[in-house]
Homo-oligomer: A and B are copies of this chain.
Amino acid sequence: MLRLSKLTDYATVILSFMAKDKAQVLAAMEIASMTGIAQPTVSKILKLLVNANVLISTRGAKGGYALARMPEEISVATVISALEGPIALTECSISHQGCEQASGCDIRGNWSLINQTIHNALESVTLADLIRPVALPEEVFIPVANIYR
């Protein structure tokens, strides 16, 4: 489905919450209770975001997590790769190693163009964009079956 993992989805919810909250430092437990996501899961996600330099953590009592920079400076691409690793549609996009043996492999080189396009799209959207309220048009409910045609 070319879909994001659940954890990535949670991460955007958590980050959006943090970006909107005026408090600078929030403990994992606070975030968990505010977002309704289980605390161990929240902690797991926060750790990954710290490793990716999206968040800064403070240990010890009164510790917690804070955004490492302004929401405008945090792209969706960064968040996705923090949770899921590099954004690459095919294995070949990471490295062409060992692809030469497949008879159709020369074709796949063109995937890099597609990858680049998608990466650019995700890079251009920031956390600030995500929290900006959009007037969504009236929701139209479409049964999933219909989407498959």
Report the interface size for chain A: residues with CB under 8 A from the other chain: 61
Say if the beta carbon of A88 comes within 8 Å of chain B: yes
Contact of A130 among B4, B107, B136 (CB under 8 A): B107
Is there contact, CB below 8 Å, between B106 and A133? yes
Contact B96 A109 (CB under 8 A): no
How many Å lie between the Cα of A113 and that of B129 in the bound state?
10
- B9/A90 in contact, CB under 8 A: yes
Residue of B nearest to A19 (CB): B107
User: Contacts A13-B104, A17-B103 known; A90 to B3 CB distance under 8 Å?
Assistant: yes
Decide yes or no whether A23 CB sits under 8 A from chain B: no
**Chain B proximity of A85: nearest CB distance (Å):** 5
B141 touches A95 (CB 8 A): yes
